[in-house]
Amino acid sequence: MPGKPAAGEKIASYTDFWPFYLGEHRNPRTRHLHYFGTSLAIAAVIVAVASQTWWLLAAAVFCGYFFAWIGHFFVERNRPATFTYPVWSLFSDFRMLWRWATGRLAGDYERFGIPQ
């Protein structure tokens, strides 16, 4: 099962990051908070562009991180990967949402031997 990198060590590739990311999102409630926040963020971006209401872009960022961080701090009780891997973490939020929506996320957990 993939684990956390050793203290002071960083994950070198996204291929290695994805199983680490999944391991940081084992609790379904954490994932559901991510799905909700990411979905709100997507909706806010769409409405911002369609209506040219640009402050909604800030709301999108807030929604995306607020619900995810609630999941990490209060449900999963771990440190969000965003602090160390901001780009990979953002990409993985969308990837996790997509793989869940298409019914393929459970297979990723199984493939990497990560209990949910």
Nearest to 63 by CA among 78, 77, 44: 44
Q: HEC profile for 89-104?
A: HHHHHHHHHHHHHCCC
User: Does 37 have pLDDT greater than 90?
Assistant: yes
Dist CA 54 CA 49 (whole Å):
7
* Spans of all domains in the chain: 35-111
Query: Which pLDDT belongs to residue 9?
Result: 87
* Residues listed for the chain: 116
The band of 2, judged by pLDDT with boundaries at 50, 70 and 90, is low
Dist CA 65 CA 36 (whole Å):
11
Dist CA 57 CA 46 (whole Å):
9
> What pTM does this model have?
0.91
Kindly give, in sequence order, each residue whose CB lies less than 8 Å from that of residue 64, ignoring residues fewer than 6 positions away. Answer: 37, 38, 40, 41, 93
Where do we find the tokens 């990560």? Answer: 114
